């Protein structure tokens, strides 16, 4: 089956050596992501039925809040990816080991500080008010948040192995971590349903511990075998190299923060304005529609490093051909998204039962958002690979400023209700499509000057 899929992919994407290497990773990633989608979709109704829509909404909101800290490496992950890829291409394994060791040390220092600060601040936070729930469960939430926060921070440190895998152009192996973590979580929740009465605390522990366990195992396995030559070590830590890791990474950090604002604040706004139940409805709808983005991401993200290589070698012909082929794939997915929008509530009913119904306005807005994301994805990866992200940075800053007030305005003042947050997403992501496509064409045509070439 894999061989057949590979031959089919070669016909679509081509058999250039650079493309062939990426294609193999795409094929393996598709099979892995296929399982990932199945296990994640199975995890939602299992968790929802074990808890209820109210408590599940609390967990989703809490998880989205904690996701903020996952981006506080100040972009060092992206910096490591670029620098590690360069040193590996030069076969300078000593420099590679310095980069890896310094990145791990830097991120460990950051998140260890976060853990200590949070242990001090947490007793003074009113989590019942933050999550818009009754004060009776405030003490339980305080303890729960502390443990989950520690899990999140540890997971981020060990998740640097993902960057190492991408820099070595084996993204399929990285993509295996997610579904394995979800599998451990599914088994854990299944055990809870048989042994423990409904408990938000234990659900949070299981859903946090599963992914962390997988990243730890991958670090041990990879650095003991395939990547032993670049295994992090104390004597290779050199913070003089942190500056080069942070160079482009800081810009990526701000862009990541903008993405986080667009997604995470939606849950916070919904729980504050409409209650945790609407967070559940929104997240189920988003999971449903984001399948196409996930599929497209498997393809486009694999080409980040090949785009870098081609841009350095000025192989613009290959870049143009690849962008066209990626756009064809996006067009096919867009057709699928439109069909899935028509069938949304029938499929959601089969998935989680009749407790959740997606409003038509939310369906339309999410459909438009996904179409925009698919149409712009290939250009985004090319610009990332080429390191031309200054315009992305400016748009990201603008979205941070605009997203929250726009969401509240659409939800309350214009009476769109919970669908207002999805409409705001459309408004803040549409400029990406226009700017990224224009900038990519200018760069490839040799007419990019000023901000268009930064």
Measured between alpha carbons, how far is residue 278 from residues 143, 348, 364 in Å?
A: 25, 15, 17
Residue 339 pLDDT > 90 = yes
**pLDDT category of residue 247 using cuts at 50, 70 and 90:** low
Residue 376 pLDDT > 90 = yes
Residue 454 belongs to some domain of the structure: no
Number of domains in the chain: 1
The per-residue pLDDT for range 188-232, each reduced to its tens digit, is 999 998 888 888 888 888 888 888 999 999 999 999 988 998 999
Contact 286, 267 (CB under 8 A): no
107's tokens: 């991120």
Domain that holds residue 291: 2-446
**pLDDT category of residue 2 using cuts at 50, 70 and 90:** very low
Give residues with Cβ within 8 angstroms of 409, minimum separation 6: 420
> Which DSSP state fits 158?
H
Residue 241 pLDDT > 90 = no
Residue 8 pLDDT > 50 = no
Q: Which of 199, 384, 377, 242 is nearest to 310 (CA)?
A: 384
pTM exceeds 0.75? no
Residue 451 belongs to some domain of the structure: no
- Distance separating alpha carbons of residues 397 and 391, to the nearest angstrom: 10
Residue 197 belongs to some domain of the structure: yes
pLDDT the model gives residue 370: 94
**pLDDT category of residue 13 using cuts at 50, 70 and 90:** low
Residue 318 belongs to some domain of the structure: yes
> Which DSSP state fits 414?
S
Q: Which helix (H) or strand (E) holds 232?
A: none
Residue 107 belongs to some domain of the structure: yes
pLDDT the model gives residue 5: 45
Residue 306 pLDDT > 90 = no
Contact 29, 174 (CB under 8 A): no
pLDDT the model gives residue 18: 67
The per-residue pLDDT for range 378-422, each reduced to its tens digit, is 999 999 888 788 888 888 888 878 888 898 899 888 888 888 988
Residue 297 pLDDT > 80 = yes
176-180, 328-332, 340-344 — which is least confidently predicted?
176-180
424's tokens: 């705001």
The more confidently predicted of residues 158 and 88 is: 158
DSSP string, 205-216: HHHHHHHHHHHH
pLDDT the model gives residue 249: 67
Percent of the chain surpassing pLDDT 70: 91
Q: How does the average pLDDT of the chain come out, rounded?
A: 83
- Distance separating alpha carbons of residues 237 and 49, to the nearest angstrom: 48
pLDDT the model gives residue 343: 93
Residue 452 belongs to some domain of the structure: no
Residue 279 pLDDT > 50 = yes
Residue 129 pLDDT > 60 = yes
132's tokens: 């818009």
Q: What is the mean pLDDT of residues 83-107?
A: 85
**pLDDT category of residue 278 using cuts at 50, 70 and 90:** confident
Residue 411 belongs to some domain of the structure: yes
Residue 447 pLDDT > 60 = yes
Q: Which of 161, 156, 190 is nearest to 176 (CA)?
A: 161
Considering only CA atoms, give the Rg of the chain.
22
Measured between alpha carbons, how far is residue 91 from residues 36, 301, 391 in Å?
A: 34, 24, 33
Instruction: Count Cα atoms within 13 angstroms, Cβ side, for 203.
Output: 23
Residue 62 pLDDT > 50 = yes
Residue 453 belongs to some domain of the structure: no
């Amino acid at each position: 089956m894999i061989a057949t899929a590979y031959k089919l992919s070669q016909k679509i994407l081509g058999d250039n050596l650079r493309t062939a290497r990426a294609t193999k990773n795409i094929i393996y990633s598709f099979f892995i992501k296929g399982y990932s989608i199945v296990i994640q979709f199975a995890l939602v109704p299992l968790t929802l039925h074990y808890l209820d829509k109210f408590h599940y909404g609390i967990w989703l909101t809490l998880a989205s809040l904690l996701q903020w800290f996952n981006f506080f490496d100040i972009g060092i992950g992206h910096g490591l990816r670029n620098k590690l890829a360069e040193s590996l291409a030069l076969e300078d394994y000593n420099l590679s080991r310095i980069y890896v060791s310094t990145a791990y040390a830097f991120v460990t220092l950051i998140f260890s500080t976060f853990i200590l600060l949070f242990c001090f601040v947490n007793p003074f936070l009113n989590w019942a008010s933050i999550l818009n729930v009754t004060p009776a469960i405030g003490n339980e939430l305080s303890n729960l948040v502390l443990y989950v926060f520690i899990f999140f921070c540890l997971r981020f440190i060990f998740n640097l192995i993902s960057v190492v895998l991408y820099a070595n152009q084996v993204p399929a192996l990285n993509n295996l971590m997610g579904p394995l973590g979800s599998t451990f979580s599914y088994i854990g929740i299944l055990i809870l349903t048989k042994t423990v009465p409904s408990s938000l605390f234990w659900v949070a522990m299981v859903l946090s511990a599963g992914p962390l366990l997988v990243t730890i195992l991958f670090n041990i396995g990879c650095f003991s075998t395939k990547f032993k030559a670049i295994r992090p070590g104390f004597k290779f830590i050199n913070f003089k190299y942190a500056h080069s890791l942070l160079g482009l990474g800081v810009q990526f950090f701000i862009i990541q923060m903008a993405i986080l604002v667009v997604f995470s604040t939606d849950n916070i706004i919904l729980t504050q304005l409409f209650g945790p139940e609407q967070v559940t409805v929104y997240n189920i709808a988003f999971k449903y529609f984001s399948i196409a983005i996930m599929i497209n991401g498997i393809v486009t993200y694999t080409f980040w490093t090949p785009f870098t290589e081609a841009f350095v070698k000025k192989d613009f012909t290959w870049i143009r051909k690849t962008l066209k082929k990626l756009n064809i794939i996006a067009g096919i997915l867009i057709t699928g998204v439109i069909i899935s929008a028509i069938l949304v509530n029938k499929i959601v009913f089969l998935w989680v039962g009749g407790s959740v119904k997606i409003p038509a306005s939310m369906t339309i807005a999410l459909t438009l958002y996904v179409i925009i994301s698919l149409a712009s994805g290939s250009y985004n990866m090319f610009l990332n690979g080429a390191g031309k992200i200054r315009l992305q940075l400016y748009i990201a800053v603008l979205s941070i400023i605009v997203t929250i007030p726009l969401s509240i305005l659409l939800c309350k003042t214009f009476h769109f209700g919970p669908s207002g947050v999805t409409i705001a997403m459309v408004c803040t992501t549409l400029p990406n499509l226009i700017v990224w496509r224009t900038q990519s064409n200018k760069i490839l045509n040799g007419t990019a000057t000023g901000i268009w070439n930064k």
